[in-house]
Structure 1
Amino acid sequence: MLSIIIFLLNLLIETSVSLTVVVPPDPIVAHVGSTVILPCWISPPENAEALEIRWYRQDQFNNPVLLYNHGKIQDIQECFRNRSSLTLRSDQSGGLKDGDVSLRLEKLTFQDEGLFHCYVSGEHSYNSKVVDLKITSPSDSSDSSGLWKALFFTFLICSLLGLFGLILYRYRHKRTEKKPTKEIHEEETLERLLKAVVEDMNIEELREHAVEITIDRERLHPDLRVTKDCKILRDSKEYEPTGEGFPYELCAYGAKIFTSGCHYWEVELAAPPNPPKNFWMIGVMKHGNLPTRDRSDLTPSAGFWFLCSDGPRGFCTNTDPLIRFSLTPRPERLGVLLDYDHGQLSFYNVTERKHLLTISSRFSGSLVPLFNPGAGDKSCLKILDLPKPVEPDEPSPSLSNMVVVELDVKASDNL
C-alpha cells in the first residue's frame, strides 16, 4: 500500500463539454441597497437538482459566492452570507427541476459590481457563462446617507475578515513550512482533483510497479537529441526558441503504451556537478496526440496530463487558467506513478522521499509517457532503469548491474 494520502482538494477533470448554460447578453443593472436576480439557466431544460452549481467572482473559483452540490447549498462566501440564494429567474420558471440556476443577491453594495461566473457541471458535462452586474446610486438621495453607512460597514467587515484570513494563513504556513499547499482549479476542465501532500513515500512499494521506459525515436521532435539506448534526452545545441516562455512543443514520447494497470518510472533531473534542471515537462498523454507551442491546447480534455518546471516562473500543472506554485527543494529525481484504472497520475520527489501531488482524471484509450527536457539546461533528462523488487532469497545486485548504470551516465556526453 502507498502512504496515507491527505486530501486537500478534490478536482474531477471532465473530458466532454455538452451541457449549455445561458445568461442574458447585456449587463444587469441594480441600485445600491436593492435586490437583484442574476439569470442563468440550462438549455435545453435539464433537471439541475443533482448537478453542481457554482457562482463565483473573477479569480475566486475556490471561494465561491454560492456553491450548490449533492442536493443542497454547501458553501456561501462570507461577504454574501444571509443575502444570496438560488432563485427563479421569472414567475414562469420551473426552478432547479427545469434547469434554472439563477442567483439572488440582496442588500447590494458597490463592492458587488463586476463579473459573476455561473458554473454548472454534471457527471460527463459542464459549462459556464459570465453575468455582468452594474451597481448605480439610488434615485432617492434622502436615503443615500444611510446607504453609504451600510456600504462602509459592509466594506469594513469584509476587509477585517480578509485581514484575519491572511494572518491565519501566514501563521499556518509558518508552522508548516515543509508542507506547502498547492491549490489548483480548472475552468476549462471541471474535473477538479489535486491532492497536494508531503507524506513520506515508500520507494520499495512504488518500485513494485516499475516498468522499463524508453524514448520512441519515430516520434521525436527534430530539435531533440537522444542516446542510442533511448534513455537520455536533451535539446539540440542548434535549437533556437521561436517565442517566449516554455517550449511546450519540444516533446518526446515513451515507446510503451498503457491501457490499464499501475505503472511506475523515475526520471533523473540532475547530473552532478551540474545543478538540477530548471526546465522540464513530465507526464502522460493520449497515444497519437501532437503537442503544440500553445499551452492552452495541452489540457486534460485534449488528452494531456503533466507537471511542468518553468525555471524562475515556478511549477505548474496543465490547468486552465494556468496556476503556478513552488516546490522546495527542486526535484533532482522525479518518480511518476500512473494508476490507469483509478484515474490517477502521481508525482514524487524520490531524493527527498516525498509525495508531491496527484492529479486525477478519467483516462480512456491508450496513454504513453510524455517527456520534454526544456531548453538551455546543462543537465540532461534521463529515464532510469529501476531495480526489480528483491525477494528474500535473492542475492544482492551483481557488479555487472552497477557497471551498466555507470555506462548510462557516461552516455550523456554523446548528446
Structure 2
Amino acid sequence: MSRFVRDLTHDMPPCVIEKASSRMNTVMRLCILAALCASLSTATTEMFTFSVPKDPVSVRLGHVATMPCSLTPSMNAEGLEVRWYRPKHFDNPVLLYRERQIQEALQQAQYVGRASLGLREVTSDGLKGGDVTLKLVNVTLRDQGEYVCYVSSDQGYESASVFLNVTVVGTPPLLSAVRRDADSVNVSCVSHGWKPRPSLQWSDGRQTLKPERLDYSSGAQGLVSAHSWILSSPSSAPWVSCSLVLSEGEEWEGRVDLRNLAAVPETSSGLQTAVIILALLLVLFVVFIGVLYKKRGRESTPVPKGDIVDMETMRQAEDIVDIETMRQAGVNVTLDPNTAPPYLTVSPNGKFVRDSLDHVCPPGELPYILGTHGFTSGRSAYWEVGLSNDNVGVKESWWVGLASGSDTRQVPAIPSNGFWFLSSDKEKGLRLNMIPNILLPANPRPQTLGVYLDYDEGVLSFINVKDKKYIVTVRAIFTGEVFPLFNPGKGDEAPMTLLDVNRYKTPTVKVSTSEGESVVSPPAETVALLASNPNPNHHGH
C-alpha cells in the first residue's frame, strides 16, 4: 500500500501530496468507524434469540395454558424487561415484568390475577435460566389467538409469537331410537358446544357403522353442534353407540339399547293408517283435557300423563351451575314412610333410606319411596341427595326424580305412567327412564346429586353438586301433583341421604329486648360455624 502511494505521488508537488495524504487518512478513519459500528450492531442482535414452539399451543377451556418462550443461548433474564402482549396492544400487555417485578398497573383487566411467568418444563430455572414462559389460568374462549413474547435490554430487544388454541368438549351425546318396521330402527345422535369440530363415530361393539347422515353447524362463539343418524337392526346388534372425539381423553360416548323397543304389529296399510289417525286423535284429546284441567286449576289431579318431549343438556360444557342461587329455592324434603314398601328401611327422621336386609324385593316390583310433600303449578324447588359415604365410597345403584301420587307400582316406570327420574346402574352408569333408555356418561359418579324442578316451565334438571355442572335436563309436561321419588337400589352398601339444603341459608335468631322481640342475623363467624357443623336432626322449613 505504501509503495503504491509513493509511486502515485512521485511527480506531485509537496502541497498536493500533503492534501492527498490528509484525505486518505480521513477515509481510513471513517472505514474503521463504520466497521466498528457494524461489529457492535452484530454483537447486539446476536446477544440472544428466542426459542418458541412452531405449532399452536392447545388447551382445554377452563384449564391452564403454558406458552413456552426462552432465551437462546441461556442467560439470566432477571434484570431484563419481559412483556407478553396481544397484537396491537403493546402498551396494554397481558403481562409486564420490569425492574424485577410484575407491573400490574398497565395490565389488561381480563388478565389480572390469571397471567404469570411460568416454567417451560419442570426442570427449568425460570428467569435465571432465561425462561420467560407465560402461564395463563382459567382459560376462556376470548383468550384464543396470538401472543407476542418481547424481551428487551439496554443493548437491544427480540420478539416472537406463540398462538393459543382453546378447545371445548361439548355436551354428552343424546340418543333416541324410533322403530321403522319389524327389524329396522332409526337411531339419532345430537351433541352441542364443541371446539373445534369433533369426529363422530357409530359402533355396535363389533364394527364401525356408516351413518346415513352427519351434519355439523356453528353457533355462538364458533361452537359446533353435531347431528347424525343411522338405520340399525336389533337382530344384528343389541345396542349401538355414538362417540364424539376431539383428541385422546377428550371424548363422549352414548349408547342406546335396541332390544326393549316395542314391536311393530304386522298389519295392512289401511289398518296402519287407521291406527295412526286414531292415535293422533287420542293425543289431541289428551292435550285438550290437560289444558282444560290446568285452566280450571285442577292442580291436585293425581294422574300426570306428561311424556318427555325433549331432553337436553341445557348449558354449554363451559358453564358452571350457580348452586347458591338454586339453593334459594331449596325445600326440606323428607321421606313418607306410608309410601315405602316393606323392602325399604326408612330412618325415623325421614332423611335416610336403604334396602331392607329382612325383606328382599321380588322381581318386577318397584321399591321406591316418595317425599311427604308434592309440587304443583306456580313454584320451583331444589333439593339435594347424598350418594356417598367415607367408609364405603360412592353409591352405584339408585333412582332419583319425580313420580305422580297415584299408586302405579304395577306399571312400567316410564314418563307416560307418571315417572321422570335419573338412575344409576353398577355396570352401565347413568340413564334416563325412557323407551329406549338413554345412557349418559358417569365418570365420576355424583357424590351429591342436586335436583331442580320448574313445574310451570316443565324443566327437571339433575346436577353434579361437587363439579357444579349439569348432568342432564328433562323437558316434560307436568299435570297434577308430583312428588320427589327415591330408590336406594339393591345390595348397595353406600347410603342414600336427603340433605338439608336450608343449612346453606343465613339463619336468623330472635332477640328479646325491653321493646319486645326482634329478628337479627348472627355474626358471620357464627354462620360459618353452623355451616361447618350442621345438626343432622334439624329440618329447615
TM class, shorter-chain normalised? Answer: 0.5 to 0.7
Aligned to 2:310: 193
Q: Does 1:249 align with 2:323?
A: no
Using the TM superposition, give the Cα deviation of residue 190 of structure 1 relative to its aligned residue in structure 2, in angstroms: 6.9
- Secondary structure of the equivalent of 2:245? helix
Aligned to 2:449: 334
Aligned residue in 1 for 2:400: 282
Residue 323 of structure 1 aligns with which residue? 438
CA contact (8 A) 2:386 2:499 kept: yes
Q: Is 1:365 aligned with 2:461?
A: no
Q: Which moved more, 1:395-404 or 1:376-385?
A: 395-404
Helix, strand or coil for the counterpart of 1:379? Answer: coil
Q: How many angstroms does 1:172 deviate by?
A: 2.9
Aligned residues of 2:175 and 2:256 also touching (Cα < 8 A) = no
Q: 1:200 to 1:248 in 2, by over 3 A?
A: farther
1:206 aligns with 2:326: yes
Out of 239, 245, 253, the residue aligned to residue 171 of structure 1 is 245
Q: Aligned equivalents of 2:172 and 2:500: distance in 1?
A: 31
SS at 2:416's partner residue?
helix
**Aligned residue among 225, 230, 249 for 2:350:** 230
Of 366, 376, 382, which aligns to 2:491? 376
1:405 is aligned with what amino acid?
N
**What is the one-letter code of the residue matched to 2:184?**
Q
Taking a change above 3 Å as real, the CA distance of residues 306 and 345 of structure 1, as seen in their structure-2 partners, is: same
Secondary structure class of the residue paired with 1:250? coil
Aligned counterparts of 1:173 and 1:183: Cα–Cα separation in 2 = 23
User: Structure 2 CA distance, aligned partners of 1:113 and 1:329?
Assistant: 30
1 or 2, which has the higher strand percentage? 2
Return the alpha-carbon distance in structure 1 between the equivalents of residues 189 and 385 of structure 2: 36
Contact 2:459 2:475 in 1 (8 A): yes
SS at match of 2:354: strand
Find the aligned partners of 2:335 and 2:244 in 1 and give their Cα distance.
44
Determine what percentage of the aligned residue pairs are the same residue.
28
Unaligned runs of 5+ in 1: 12-52, 65-76, 82-111, 116-165, 409-415
Superposed CA deviations along residues 108-157 of structure 1, whole A, max 9, x for unmatched, are xxxx9989xxxxxxxxxxxxxxxxxxxxxxxxxxxxxxxxxxxxxxxxxx
1:262 maps to 2:377: no
AA matched with 2:387: L
Kindly indicate whether the alpha-carbon contact (under 8 Å) linking 2:254 and 2:439 is maintained by their aligned counterparts in 1. no
Closer/same/farther in 2, CA of residues 170 and 339 from structure 1, 3 Å limit:
closer
Deviation at 1:349, TM superposition (A): 0.8
Contact 1:9–1:193 under 8 Å retained in 2? no
How large is the RMSD of aligned CA atoms in angstroms?
4.1
Q: Measure the CA separation in 2 of the matches of 1:259 and 1:171.
A: 41
Q: Is the 8 A contact 2:382 2:452 kept in 1?
A: yes
For the structure 1 residues 10 and 229, does the alpha-carbon distance in structure 2 shift closer, same or farther, using more than 3 Å as the test?
same
1:257-310: CA deviations, max 9, x gaps? 100211000000111121111110000011123334x6xx11111110000112
Q: Which entry has the higher C-alpha Rg, 1 or 2?
A: 2
Unaligned runs of 5+ in 2: 1-169, 191-209, 215-230, 235-240, 263-305, 509-519
Amino acid at match of 1:352: D
> What is the distance in 2 between the residues matched to 1:340 and 1:286?
13
Q: Name the CA distance, whole Å, in 1 between partners of 2:308 and 2:369.
A: 26
Residue 535 of structure 2: aligned partner: 405
Shift of 1:176: 3.1
| Equivalent-residue separation in structure 1 for 2:175 and 2:232 (angstroms) | 30
The counterpart of 2:185, out of the listed 54, 59, 65, is 59
SS of the aligned residue for 2:187 comes to coil
List per-residue Cα deviations over 1:91-113 (Å, max 9, x = no partner).
xxxxxxxxxxxxxxxxxxxxx99
Residue 333 of structure 1 and its aligned partner are, at CA, apart by 0.6
Q: Alpha carbons of 1:255 and 1:62: their partners in 2 closer, same or farther (altered >3 Å)? A: same
Q: Distance in 1 between matches of 2:536 and 2:307?
A: 45
Distance of aligned partners of 1:251 and 1:173 in 2 relative to their CA distance in 1, 3 Å threshold = farther
Aligned-partner Cα distance in 2 for 1:114–1:227: 47
TM-score, normalised to structure 2, is 0.42
Q: Secondary structure at the match of 1:298?
A: coil
Alpha-carbon displacement from aligned partner over 1:61-97 (angstroms, at most 9, x marks no partner) = 3179xxxxxxxxxxxx97599xxxxxxxxxxxxxxxx
Aligned match of 2:419? 304
Alpha-carbon distance between aligned partners in 2 of 1:401 and 1:344, rounded to the nearest angstrom: 29
Q: Calculate the TM-score normalised by the size of structure 1.
A: 0.54
Aligned amino acid, residue 384 of structure 1 = L
For the residue of structure 2 that corresponds to 1:321, the secondary structure is: coil
May I ask how many residue pairs the two structures share in their alignment? 264
Which amino acid in 1 is paired with 2:489? G
Alignment deviations for residues 24-56 of structure 1 (CA, whole Å, 9 cap, x no partner): xxxxxxxxxxxxxxxxxxxxxxxxxxxxx9968
Shift, 1:351, TM fit:
1.5
- Select the residue among 383, 390, 397 that pairs with 1:272: 390
